[in-house]
Amino acid sequence: MIDAENPQSCQNSWATLRIERGAKEKNHLLYKPYSNGRIIEPTSLEEEIKEIRRSGSNKDLDSATEFELSDIFYFARRGVESIMDDEVTKRFSAEELESWNLLTRSNYNFHYISLRLTVLWGLGLLIRYGFLLPLRVTLAFTGVGLLVFLTSVVGLLPNGRMKNFLSEKVHLMCYRICVRALTAIITYHDSENKPKNGGICVANHTSPIDVIILASDGCYAMVGQIHGGLMGVIQRSMVKACPHIWFERSEVKDRHLVAKRLSDHVEDKSKLPILIFPEGTCINNTSVMMFKKGSFEIGATVYPVAIKYDPRFGDAFWNSSKFGMVSYLLRMMSSWAIVCSVWYLPPMSREEGEDAVQFANRVKAAIARQGGLVDLLWDGGLKRAKVKDTFKEEQQKLYSKMLVGTQEDRSRS
């Protein structure tokens, strides 16, 4: 906020804006989102190509109409920049630490630093795996076992206030036991903004344990795909005591069916708020990527939540392409602790004339700003899928439009 009565404040604010703008123009293309919120168009392509042409020729190229070989350098440079500093794929690898946290070496090229540090690391290894890990595994099995048993018992009761009361108490107790299994140290901020019944809670997604981090401070209705095995047993027992929303694999692909079930849930003000992670995949605790617009089309009140982990004590990010669920949980339980902060942001509603994509971007920006995360426009689905051909075609269209447009201007003249 710029203080008009404080000239120094104005100067500092404008200086900050100039620095941020300069940094974006230097290291990034200038983007403007399309109406669908996914395709982004660089607005500096024509100017940069003209600059490259001027640097290689003394002719007046402002009116150039034909392809020039030097234009290739623009696309080659952008390609190399993306390879060297790709802001998408590096969001799916563990956050780098500047110092050693007694878990691993800060640099894998130096396995031996000194005898003293090696002995200290060995003692830490003994404590973590010999004492903490068995204790935490015992707590985890206790929490999950109680969750399955007690929710099944509560599910036998008739629907009513008593069942809802017992269900909330059982869920909170079991989730808090699971939080102890991770030695999670959580700081909750602005609890007066906690999600209320009939609303949708949306949060950035770093790890599967985001669920128990939030659910240990309040009850939510979970949304997800039906699984088999142990996870399926847990889901079937939970839904008996609380109206969670589980989808069959075939139903997940039907957006209208998903939206209908979510809409029916939030219309009943007696039901718990829905917990959704709109990114659809885990990001490495440094950024927030594109929110899927589905949960913002319903028209319900949205309660944003920002989650930020402290990576010095344990890396909470789940790299699903590198670790399975079991190995990931063992890594969590063998770390010193999981330390994080949770901010409950004021509720937000869709404004007049605002579409679902704009609403999702506004919520995402608020979460990124509060959590100190980088706000990115890219779709987290690029973690597993290739860039769509439409993205590539957009670049081709922009370049051809530049040439064709210039030729039209030339014909008019």
Is the CB of residue 95 less than 8 Å from the CB of residue 285?
Answer: yes
Summarize pLDDT for 15-28 with one digit per residue, the tens. 343 334 344 433 33
Summarize pLDDT for 288-333 with one digit per residue, the tens. 888 888 788 887 889 999 999 988 888 888 877 777 788 888 888 8
Q: Taking 60 as the threshold, does the pLDDT of residue 229 lie above it?
A: yes
Is the CB of residue 107 less than 8 Å from the CB of residue 117?
Answer: no
Q: How far apart are CA 7 and CA 3, in angstroms?
A: 8
Q: How far apart are CA 368 and CA 159, in angstroms?
A: 39
120-153 in b/e burial notation, b at 16+ Cβ within 10 A?
A: ebeeeeeebeeebeeebeebbeebbeebbebbee
Q: Which has the closest alpha carbon to 209: 335, 109, 118, 295? A: 335
What residues pair up with 310 in beta bridges, in sequence order?
Answer: 339
What residues pair up with 285 in beta bridges, in sequence order?
Answer: none
pLDDT at 303: 94
Is the CB of residue 243 less than 8 Å from the CB of residue 221?
Answer: yes
In Å, what is the CA distance from 332 to each residue of 136, 301, 326, 329, 347?
10, 34, 10, 5, 32
pLDDT at 80: 67
Full strand arrangement of the beta sheet holding 184-189 = 184-189, 338-344, 302-310, 200-203, 274-276, 221-225, 245-247
Q: Which residues contact 334 (CB under 8 A, 6 or more apart)?
A: 128, 129, 132, 133
pLDDT at 12: 42
Q: Which has the closest alpha carbon to 313: 283, 282, 284, 336? A: 336
Is the CB of residue 214 less than 8 Å from the CB of residue 274?
Answer: no
At 246, the amino acid letter reads W
DSSP string, 69-104: TTHHHHHHHHHHHHHHS-TTGGGGSPPP-SS--SSS
pLDDT at 133: 92
As a whole number, the mean pLDDT across the chain is 76
DSSP string, 166-196: HHHHHHHHHHHHHHHHTTEEEEEE-GGG---
Q: Which has the closest alpha carbon to 172: 216, 222, 220? A: 216
DSSP string, 290-351: PPPSGGGSS---EEEEEEEEETTT------TTT--HHHHHHHHHTSS-EEEEEEEPPPB-PP
Summarize pLDDT for 172-223 with one digit per residue, the tens. 999 999 999 988 899 999 999 999 888 899 999 988 889 999 999 988 988 8
pLDDT at 296: 87
pLDDT band for position 30 (cuts 50, 70, 90):
very low
Domain limits, the chain: 20-88+387-404, 115-377
Residue whose token pair is 């901010």 = 343
pLDDT at 136: 93
Tokens (6 digits) for 206: 């770093």
In Å, what is the CA distance from 370 to each residue of 43, 152, 244, 349, 407?
29, 39, 29, 18, 48
Summarize pLDDT for 158-168 with one digit per residue, the tens. 888 898 899 99
pLDDT at 322: 78
Is the CB of residue 371 less than 8 Å from the CB of residue 205?
Answer: no
Higher local confidence (pLDDT), 229 or 344: 344
Q: Taking 70 as the threshold, does the pLDDT of residue 57 lie above it?
A: no
Residue 5 phi/psi, 5-degree rounding, is -85, -5
Containing 164, the helix (H) or strand (E) segment is: helix 161-181
Q: Which has the closest alpha carbon to 284: 379, 204, 386? A: 204
pLDDT band for position 83 (cuts 50, 70, 90):
low
pLDDT band for position 286 (cuts 50, 70, 90):
confident
Q: How far apart are CA 329 and CA 226, in angstroms?
A: 20
Summarize pLDDT for 90-140 with one digit per residue, the tens. 566 666 666 666 676 555 555 666 788 778 888 888 898 999 999 999 999
pLDDT at 67: 66
Is the CB of residue 224 less than 8 Å from the CB of residue 326?
Answer: no
Summarize pLDDT for 231-242 with one digit per residue, the tens. 788 888 888 888
Range of weakest confidence among 103-107, 143-147, 249-253, 389-393 = 103-107
Average of per-residue pLDDT across 67-95: 65
Q: How far apart are CA 304 and CA 296, in angstroms?
A: 12
**In this structure, how many other beta carbons lie within 10 angstroms of the beta carbon of residue 203?**
27
Q: How far apart are CA 141 and CA 131, in angstroms?
A: 16
